Amino acid sequence: MTTTAAAQGATERREDDALLQELRAWLKDNWDPDLSVGEWWERLGLAGWAAPSLPANAYGRDLSRADAVRVEQEIAAHGALGAPGGLGLLLAAPTIAVHGTQAQIDRYVRGIVTGQDAWCQLFSEPQAGSDLAGLQTKAVRDGDEWVVTGQKVWTSGGQIADYGMLLARTDPEAPKHRGISYFALPMHQPGVEVRPLREMTGRALFNEVFLTEAVVADDARIGDLNDGWRVANTTLAFERAGLGAGGGSAGGGSGAMPGSVAGHLERRAGDFVAGPGRR
């Protein structure tokens, strides 16, 4: 090893040590198993430890993926409840951090890192097959809102989601890779019906979602109008990276699930961890 490489390695180790020392001190002061899951996730998320690879303006700490993994491991080693899992943290938050306005980051990413909102992905359609750009779900503008009609399929977590990452066609005259927009669709509204896709075992890992004149505000559009294909490819890139790293679980490794439907936010945080952290 050259002198320069050795010096660089020593610097990286010092930075790593400083990062973990800061996190350990913070956990010592903040982890309390008697907090509710929601209370703990709010502390974790607003301190930047839930999604530390996000930018600082998006409730993160601008850490590398490797350092973010070390943060996750250190939280587990302390016996504390880990960050809220699911597609919100894996896909929606980093996509909105890239393409959203600061107002959208504050509205949506904050709810994700604090576990208040669960998300699903409304991309695939039964008629489109593997051709994602062939989607037929349409959004028609009505003043400051869009009225959405269509069907989505293979939707993981749709039954507990508060929001959906929605791709819809906003310009039917444009070529198929154009004329698509990306929305943060509120799931708890008339016109959104989630139906489980049951396997022979009776389990339902995925859902169909039927949209019948569901409404989404124009200020919930992520990215430019008719530029949803580019935004969607950002989401898909995060999906490939996250799944390759073993991410994508519905509730993290803890079993606690985010969002208003699952019913975990009011439960005791220590009940979702093993060992000394439970006490």
Task: Extract the runs of DSSP E, i.e. beta strands, from the chain.
Answer: 119-122, 138-142, 145-152, 163-169, 180-186, 192-197, 206-217
- Helices 3-30 and 65-78 sit at what angle, rounded to 10 degrees? 40
φ/ψ of 213, rounded to 5, equals 55, 40
Which residues belong to the active site? 239
* Number of CB atoms found within 10 A of residue 209's CB: 27
Nearest to 66 by CA among 12, 110, 28: 12
The Cα–Cα gap between 151 and 163 comes to 16
Nearest to 87 by CA among 176, 207, 189: 207
N- to C-terminal Cα distance for the chain? 46
Give the largest CA-CA distance in the chain.
65
137 HSE (CA, 13 A, CB side): 31
**What sign results for the dihedral spanned by CA atoms 101, 107, 113, 119?**
negative
**What sign results for the dihedral spanned by CA atoms 78, 83, 86, 87?**
negative
Residue corresponding to tokens 């396997």: 199
